[in-house]
Structure 1
Amino acid sequence: MKTLSKDLIELAALFAAVAVADVFAGALGHGQHGSLILVGLAAALVVCSAAHRWWAHRHVRAPRTPAATGDTLWRIRTTVADSPGRLAALCTGLAELDVNILTIQVHPLGDKVIDEFLVVAPFDVTGAVLVGAITARGGLGTHVEPALAGLFDEAPAPANPA
């Protein structure tokens, strides 16, 4: 139902935009230099769109550094059994602490894997608390260390859907 009403609103907005464009084009088209003005406006629109697209892709904004919000960046490295649900258990343990997982890397080692996380934790969540949460969920030999905010200096370019 929501999709249908949203589609109807978008369709109504499209019809309103076409009506306004028709009135504008009709008024200019019947004037002395109306067609030249319309061509000039179309060219200006194309140039402005191209300039905006170029500017947006050249000046990609880096994500806000979590350290600036009072949160703490941590690197976590742990070994777990390579079985279904182990990674989910670790992620659940972190989520219960309101920890945001930024990246995960999994390195297979036969019947075990090494999971590496880059996370943002609330300021009051210490390294010892993180180790405890990971160990309680099956992590072995867990190593936790503060990460540097400089990891966010170079943001990856956004994916181009085209």
Structure 2
Amino acid sequence: MRALGRALATQLRAGDLVILSGGLGAGKTTLTQGIGDGLGVRGPITSPTFVIARVHPPLRGNGAAVSPAGQRPALVHADAYRLGSALELDDLDLDTDTSSSVTVVEWGEGLAEGLAADRLEIAIAPEPGGSGELDDMTADRARTVRISAVGERWEGIKLPLADLADRL
């Protein structure tokens, strides 16, 4: 999941919205950690379940993704798990139309789509297996990942999933 996140980061730019869905332990935060690595932001990137949202500013001089204006975007990492409606998400005032950050919303399906017309929607599902116990959720196992590119921003852009799947 981290490798996929790093590969996705090469295509992300400031103003992009990524909505992640999948059950507990599916790999949403791990994918976001990879995106953060690829963007070159300050970490550590951990689940923002209890704080709802965190901003990870870009580090300097590490060769990560750079916007057309020559600046690397920050990463806004939000978790909508405890939110009850799109209005509560809107109250967070996540500025997804800004030119300074990439926004990733975990548990955002059905809540975050209104934040931006152009977005990536990523659904993650671990393959069946293991005991299903909480300790087993972090096990290294295969996952099914579906990436849906929504909006004009993503027209003609080749997303890395097909190439990456061949290497994993």
Question: 1 or 2, which has the higher helix percentage?
Answer: 1
TM-score by length of 2: 0.24
TM superposition score normalised by structure 1: 0.25
Based on CA coordinates, which of the two structures has the bigger radius of gyration? 1
Name the structure, 1 or 2, with higher relative contact order (CA <8 Å, separation 6+): 2
